[in-house]
């Protein structure tokens, strides 16, 4: 038995839980006993009793296995053409976009009553065994012929390769228009700043601040400063310099996978293979600053990162790669979010089909009964997983790929199940568990993206709770909480945002490394830093400091 085969077996057994471990051990004992009974003299003595004993063991194993199986009713079909598959005809209207949720949200006593609307391999050999690679670009972005399935030994062409198989980087004259609700960004800018490649291109309204000609002024108007912009640029520079040759950011090479038993749970060194997840976060940090694979200082890094995700994407659409049980769905959502934002910012139709496949995987993995996501498809969910999946679904929706109504209703149902407090503004990890600041922040962001009214009392209830634990306080640094808290408080604005932003800037700017080979990065001495590593801590801190222009304020007049 060679080492890689044994490693795969041990990795599998480590992820099935103690019940399945007992079942496998018992099955091995049963098989060994049956062989001994048949082929040795031991079976000739009192064979009936021994057969009965083995039969009882087999029944116990079946009962144990049955406890690991849960049945869930299938999700109802979407109401109308709420979601589209990738097989579309050229010229068809496949970008139909839904109306704004925020405009239709009603004030109610509970936030959920607002109406709704309608394998990362480290080596090429592992990739060849586990995935059928899909091409990065179709031979022609406008071709009507279906995309051929590549063999595992074909190398997909890079986004910037000068061959007839690859379209050149997009600019305003080449971008295919969106049908999603967008507004043009003015191409007027000071003479000292050359217009980016997508200036004047229709992009989702939510992203327009990223490419404004006076983005530094925009950041200042929303609470940023020259110091926050310098910190972001230093972080992006460090991320670009630490991208691997194949386009990925290697989690394990930057301190990921240290099991620190956060909250008392051992996770078997989760994070060491979370390359697609941290690569997705790094790409999101570049995209948030207005860079894309067609324009900006870091377009080459972004192209290589997108290539990596598209090479790794499995046939069923998942982007988890070689990630273990605990981080697989996180990795899928983070990578899907990066692909969706790249598609939304550029209109590059060559990204549409991979994004649609990724979203179909997320939709299929949702727990049909409870409405959430967890470590395995259809498993009863938790708030942490749901937040990342919703971010991916919302990013795809902004790019013109609608979220199915049953999926949206399921998300609302799950958020209701974990909500508490007088107005439903507080939230827990799972239903019935203790309220936490991290989950309250993440749930509030989910409600905001689903269209909750700013006047709803749940918003202020959540904001008041988050103010009781500002960044830099409350023990060990928690950049995960700070990230979601920043998104949530930025949308609340007012006194909530001013107090949060002051604490956030002070904490993150003081913690960023200023000198040496790690200049621009953040240390991994945070609650989840041991799992995600330095790519994670740096990307998520940069995203927090890019909040001033990453998204348009949802409630701005």
pLDDT at 34: 73
**Beta-bridge mates of residue 292:** 295
Locus of tokens 């330095």: 534
Residues whose CB falls within 8 Å of the CB of residue 167, separated by 6 or more in sequence, listed in order? 137, 140, 141, 174, 350
CA distance 359 to 21: 32
Q: Are 323 and 277 in contact (CB under 8 A)?
A: yes
Q: Are 504 and 511 in contact (CB under 8 A)?
A: no
CA distance 158 to 350: 12
pLDDT at 197: 42
**Beta-bridge mates of residue 203:** 183
Q: Which helix (H) or strand (E) holds 420?
A: strand 419-420
Q: Which letter, b or e, does each residue of 241-273 get, where b requires 16 or more Cβ atoms within 10 Å of its Cβ?
A: ebbeeebbbbbbebbbbebeebeeeebebbbbb
List the alpha helices (DSSP H) in 67-160: 101-104, 124-130
Please tell me what DSSP assigns to residue 89. -
Tokens of 168: 């050149």
SS3 for 63?
helix
Distances 472 to 3, 171, 260, 331 between C-alpha atoms, Å: 45, 42, 21, 27
| Count of residues making up the chain | 557
- Would you tell me which CATH number, out of the four given (1.50.10.20, 3.10.20.90, 1.10.1040.10, 3.90.1150.10), belongs to the domain 189-550? 1.50.10.20
Q: Are 276 and 319 in contact (CB under 8 A)?
A: yes
Tokens of 519: 């200049």
Tokens of 405: 């109504």
What are the per-10-residue average pLDDT scores of the chain (557 residues)? Answer: 46 50 72 72 68 77 63 38 34 37 37 37 38 34 31 32 28 32 30 36 87 90 96 98 96 70 55 88 97 95 97 96 90 98 96 98 97 94 97 96 97 97 97 96 97 96 98 89 97 97 97 96 84 91 97 76
CA dihedral defined by 318, 319, 322, 325, rounded to 10 degrees?
Answer: -60
Burial class (CB in 10 A: 0-12, 13-18, 19+), 187: middle
Angle (CA) 470 473 479, round 5°: 75
Q: What is the CA radius of gyration of the chain?
A: 25
pLDDT at 272: 73
Give first-to-last CA distance, the chain, whole Å.
66
> What are the φ/ψ torsions at residue 411 (nearest 5 degrees)?
-60, -45
> What are the φ/ψ torsions at residue 190 (nearest 5 degrees)?
-55, 150
**Beta-bridge mates of residue 382:** 373
Q: Where are the domains of the chain?
A: 16-66, 189-550
- Determine the distance from the C-alpha atom of residue 185 to the mean position of all C-alpha atoms in its chain, rounded to a whole number: 27
CA distance 169 to 292: 10
């Amino acid at each position: 038995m060679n080492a890689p085969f044994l490693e795969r077996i041990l990795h599998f057994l480590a992820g099935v839980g103690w019940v399945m471990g007992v079942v496998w051990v018992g099955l091995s004992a049963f098989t060994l006993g049956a062989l001994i009974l048949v082929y040795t003299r031991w079976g000739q003595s009192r064979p009936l009793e021994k057969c009965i004993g083995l039969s009882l063991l087999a029944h116990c194993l079946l009962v144990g296995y049955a406890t690991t199986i849960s049945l869930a009713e299938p999700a109802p079909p979407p109401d109308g053409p709420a979601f589209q598959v990738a097989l579309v005809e050229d010229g068809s209207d496949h970008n139909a976009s839904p109306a704004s949720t925020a405009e239709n949200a009603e004030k109610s006593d509970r936030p959920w009553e607002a109406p709704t609307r309608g394998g990362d391999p480290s080596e090429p050999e592992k990739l060849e065994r586990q995935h059928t690679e899909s091409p990065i670009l179709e031979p022609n972005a406008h071709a009507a012929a279906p995309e051929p399935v590549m063999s595992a030994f074909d190398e997909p062409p890079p986004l910037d390769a000068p061959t007839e198989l690859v379209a050149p980087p997009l600019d305003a004259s080449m971008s295919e228009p969106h049908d999603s609700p967008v507004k043009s960004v003015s191409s007027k800018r000071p003479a000292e700043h050359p217009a980016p490649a997508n200036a004047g291109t229709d992009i989702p309204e939510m992203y327009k601040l990223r490419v404004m000609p006076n983005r530094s002024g925009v950041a200042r108007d929303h609470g940023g400063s020259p110091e926050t912009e310098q910190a972001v640029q230093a972080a992006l520079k460090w991320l670009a310099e630490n991208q691997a040759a194949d386009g990925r950011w290697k989690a394990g090479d930057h301190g990921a996978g240290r099991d620190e038993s956060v909250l008392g749970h051992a996770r078997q060194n989760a994070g060491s293979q979370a390359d697609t997840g941290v690569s997705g976060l790094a790409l999101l940090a570049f995209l948030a600053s207005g860079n894309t694979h067609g324009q900006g200082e870091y377009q080459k890094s972004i192209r290589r990162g997108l290539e990596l995700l598209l090479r790794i994407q499995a046939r069923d659409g998942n982007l988890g790669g070689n990630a273990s049980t605990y981080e697989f769905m996180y990795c899928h959502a983070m990578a899907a979010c990066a692909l969706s934002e790249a598609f939304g910012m550029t209109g590059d139709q060559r990204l549409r089909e991979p994004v649609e496949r990724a979203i179909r995987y997320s939709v299929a993995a949702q727990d049909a009964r409870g409405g959430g996501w967890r470590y395995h498809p259809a498993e009863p969910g938790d708030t942490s997983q749901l937040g990342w999946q919703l971010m991916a679904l919302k990013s795809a929706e902004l790019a013109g790929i609608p979220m199915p109504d049953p999926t949206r209703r399921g998300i609302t149902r799950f958020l209701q199940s974990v909500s508490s407090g007088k107005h439903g503004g507080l939230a827990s990890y799972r239903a019935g568990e203790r309220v936490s600041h991290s989950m309250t922040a993440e749930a509030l962001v989910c409600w905001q993206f689903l269209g909750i009214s700013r006047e709803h009392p749940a918003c202020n209830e959540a904001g008041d709770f988050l103010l009781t634990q500002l960044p830099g306080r409350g023990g060990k640094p928690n950049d995960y909480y700070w990230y979601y808290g920043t998104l949530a408080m930025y949308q609340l604005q007012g006194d909530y945002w001013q107090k949060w932003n002051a604490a956030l800037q002070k904490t993150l700017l003081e913690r960023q490394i200023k000198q040496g080979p790690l200049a621009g990065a953040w240390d991994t001495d945070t609650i989840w830093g041991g799992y995600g590593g330095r790519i994670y801590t740096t990307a998520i801190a940069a995203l927090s400091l890019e909040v001033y222009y990453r998204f348009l304020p949802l409630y701005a007049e």
